[in-house]
Structure 1
Amino acid sequence: MLSAIFRSYTGSFGDLRKEVWFLALITLINRAGTMVIPFLSLYLTKSKGFSLEEVGWILSFFGMGSVAGSWLGGKLTDTIGHYKTMTGSLIFSSVLFVLLQFPQSFWELCIGVFLVMLVADAFRPAVFVAISAYSKPQNRTRSVTLIRLAINLGFSVGPAIGGSIIAGTGYAGLFWVDGITCLLAGILLLKLLDPKKALANATEVNLKPQSVLKDKPYLLFIFAMVLFGFVFLQYFSTVPLFYAQVHRLSEFEIGVLLGLNGFLIFLLEMPLIKFLEIRKKSVITYIGLGAALTGLSFLALNLGQWIGVLVIGMVLLTVGEMIAFPFSNTFALQRADKGRQGSYMAFYSIAFSAGHIFGHNSGMQLINHFGFTVTWNFMIVLAVISCGLLIWLKFILKKEN
């Protein structure tokens, strides 16, 4: 029985091109090194002594940099190509991550965080277009899932190592590790990926591309993803504060709990996606299911002081994430075939960058004024609205088809 399970697991990875595996390796190294981001709110409060209100505004600049970077990455991808855009983003962000440890004042940190995300998130639209170029159409969802596995394996390792680095050397060590791993990922990209093979395998060029602003169903989808991202991204700012302030967890314990998310995704996401693909339900249905489970994770956080609710919440979030992200990526890539792929994928990235602008800051302000319980209830309401928009989108798509 175990051998059959193992064969089923390894079979879910079959028929993926080696270039997709190279992309996954590069993403794994880059993501494992991005240790500053999960600990940013703790770094700003505990090491720098900023108030929750100030941290909220700094994280808004994080989001604005992410939005600007996603837009810039989409424009660069449509003009100079995904290969050059990814390489430049990795190499230049390696320098900026190292430099981010030196700003001290509020405005210096706002500008520093903005510049880091401006350069680092130019990578995101480019890597989505690269997936489309290197993968076969029938394997697109699983190719996206493999990249996500690399991201989450890196995320499971990164916070745990990051917590250990903080315990041993302080926060400064995180910035150096981030910079070195970004540089290593950029070097590997230059060594392993052949842009000519991507061009040879790319989807047919659309000679009359549709403007993303005229694709109303896609814009509705983006708005639903903005709300979903608003809720989901709380796990990278306000939820770690909840772990520390309410449940008194240490940085290492927080890193282990966040690492559980990446470990479960690495273990279960690819077989789950293959299983759901076979059932041939609507892609939008699966995205809505993922958003609903993410909302339920915040309901779990309000169940009491028992430490087990944190694990339950993380498991619900993880399953929701495993379902929502690969299928939302696939839907975005499918619609991108209608127009300029870089612009379409930039809008998809911006949907989650907007969560960084408004989600972190609003979450901090809500906690500061009303506490964690009200904040988690607010996130549940937003998740419900996101699900409602996706149901509406499903009816629109049926008419469109």
Structure 2
Amino acid sequence: MLESLRAYPRALWMMALSVTISAIGESFLWPLTTAYIETFGKTLTAAGTVLLCQYATMLLGNLAGGWLFDRWSGRKTLVLSITAAMLILLAMGTWRSFPLYVGLLIVLGFCQGTFWPIQRALSTVIWPSGGRRAINMIYVANNLGVAVGAATGGVLASHSFSMAFYGNALSYLLFLAIFMSNVSESHVQTAKSTKPGSASPSGAAPKVKRETWVALWLLTIGLGLMVVTYSQWQTTMSMYVQSTGISLSSYSVLWTVNGLVIVLLQPLLSWCIRTYSWSLQTQILIAAGLFALAMTTVMFWPSYAGFVIGMVILTMGEMLAWPGVPALAAEMAVPGREGMFQGIVTSGQSAGRMVGPLFGAFLFEAASAQGMIGFMIVLCVVAAVFFLIYNKFGSKKSFSVPRNFDV
């Protein structure tokens, strides 16, 4: 165990630490966004509309971040977007105005959407031989930060919402200090140049095959469908839980279970992957099955025990899917297009977060909780089909080599 941990490069450890710190700060705010909007006297519908706009710009940021990683500089893009986000948060904490807050929140969504895919892409570039382990490390680091931040964010906000904004800004400042002192531009460029299949000195990059694009979008859409299902646990499921006579405070405990499962069962899932030699495709297929099983559990067992078991199952699926699909995208990525591949995959997650709450609420009201859950099970099955067939379009060699490409 210790030997395997020593194989991780120091730069990746430092990057994971910075991701944990930034996630702590981000988690000060995201659970409280709706509550803060309500302090302006706005309705839940208004809050939902604002969040929809934020997720839309986040999606655009995912694509922009991936493109800039490949075409300009991943490190510089990350530093600029984090700096811009930090300044926006300081402005949010200083001036209280609803129109200003909405405008800043939308721009903040773009900035955050820009640096999230870059974090994943950098992990694969810093440790090319790490494969799924590099991306999984960033995933675990992010969830560790979420667990700590969600637990302390409410305490800050209880004193003042401005404290939560300033806390998030401080976390980004610490992120920059750690990241810039441990990951240099030359470090990244050296890592890129040593990747197998790197672009030739003349600058000619391998051309992505059409089949690879199809495979990548099948993975992205499948991931988006799973995020739509997952988002119901953050939104409509709270109404379903309360309709069974369970208190809202008991529902909140489910997310404590989520964090504990991620921390405690990570070694077990890693052991399963090693022992049974699960491929990444097998990993995400199992994840889709676990998501469907979790929804089936709460459909036929609408008690608190059923919701707890459902959350445990869902979290195990999350632990396989969230790092699994980006890891597959990293394997498929053409040298010099790592950022774009991660940006596209991340945009699938943003799209799921954008449409999931509104779509789920519509189904909940139009077809009841049972109908909504049943439809989510269908989405999981569709996602599994996409995960099953994506490699029928892709190929082991996902790019063609131009004539002036030195092999």
With the shorter chain as reference, the TM-score category is 0.7 to 0.9
Secondary structure at the residue paired with 1:378? helix
Rounded Cα–Cα distance in structure 1 between residues aligned with 2:146 and 2:293 = 22
Q: Is the counterpart of residue 54 in structure 1 residue 53 in structure 2?
A: no
TM-score, with normalisation over the residues of structure 2? 0.84
Match of 1:127 among 119, 122, 126: 119
In the alignment, is the contact (CA less than 8 A) between 2:92 and 2:162 conserved in 1? no
1:311-326 matches, within 5 Å, as 311-326=308-323
Q: 2:214–2:394: 8 Å Cα contact kept in structure 1? A: no
Query: For 1:2-41, what per-residue CA distance to the aligned partner results, in whole angstroms no more than 9, with x for missing partners?
Result: xxxxxx4x45534111111011000000001112113334
1:163 aligns with 2:154: yes
Which string of whole-angstrom CA distances, capped at 9 and with x for unpartnered residues, describes residues 316-346 of structure 1?
Answer: 1110011112221211001113562221111
Please show how residues 1-400 of structure 1 align to structure 2 within 5 Å: 8=1, 10-35=2-27, 36-44=29-37, 47-100=39-92, 105=98, 110-137=102-129, 139-166=130-157, 168-169=158-159, 171-202=161-192, 203-204=195-196, 205-206=198-199, 207-211=204-208, 215-239=213-237, 247-250=246-249, 256-303=253-300, 306-337=303-334, 340-397=337-394
Q: Deviations over 1:71-124 (max 9, x none)?
A: 11112212322111221222211222343465654x655533321110111112
8 Å Cα contact 1:217/1:396 also seen in 2: yes
Extract structure 1 runs of 4+ deviating beyond 6 A.
398-401
Distance in structure 2 (CA, Å) of the matches to 1:314 and 1:352:
19
Q: Conserved in 2, the CA contact under 8 Å of 1:294 and 1:383? A: yes
CA distance in 2, matches of 1:371, 1:42: 26
Q: Which protein has the larger Cα radius of gyration, Structure 1 or Structure 2? A: 2
What secondary structure does 2:265 align onto?
helix
Work out whether residues 159 and 259 of structure 1, in 8 Å CA contact, stay in contact via their aligned partners in 2: no
Alpha-carbon distance in 1 for matches of 2:80, 2:240: 36
Q: CA deviation at 1:171?
A: 4.1
Q: Secondary structure at the match of 1:13?
A: helix
Distance 1:88 1:273 in 2: 35
Question: Displacement, 1:371?
Answer: 4.5
SS of 1:66 mapped into structure 2 = helix
Q: How far 1:153 sits from its partner (Å)?
A: 0.8
Counterpart code for 1:87? V
Q: Is the 8 A contact 1:64 1:354 kept in 2?
A: yes
SS of alignment partner, residue 281 of structure 1: coil
* Structure 1 portions without partners, runs of 5+: 1-7
Aligned-residue offset at 1:385: 1.1
Q: Distance in 2 between matches of 1:241 and 1:50?
A: 20
What amino acid sits opposite 1:130 in the alignment? L
Letter in 2 for 1:229: V
Structure 2: runs of 5 or more not aligned: 399-407
Q: How many equivalent pairs are there? A: 387
Question: How much has 1:271 moved relative to structure 2?
Answer: 4.8
Give identity over the alignment, percent. Answer: 22
Tell me, what secondary structure is at the counterpart of 1:34? helix
Deviates more, 1:324-333 or 1:33-42: 33-42
Aligned partners of 1:66 and 1:356 also within 8 Å: no
The offset of 1:169, in angstroms, is: 1.9
Q: Distance in 2 between the 1:367 and 1:340 partners?
A: 40
Post-superposition shift, 1:68?
1.0
In the TM superposition, what whole-angstrom CA distance separates every residue of 1:215-238 from its partner, at most 9, and x where no partner exists? Answer: 222222222112122222334444
Q: Structure 2 vs 1, CA of residues 26 and 236 (structure 1 numbering), >3 Å: closer, same or farther?
A: farther
Distance in 1 separating the partners of 2:174 and 2:242: 33
Q: CA deviation at 1:274?
A: 4.8
Contact 1:33 1:182 in 2 (8 A): yes
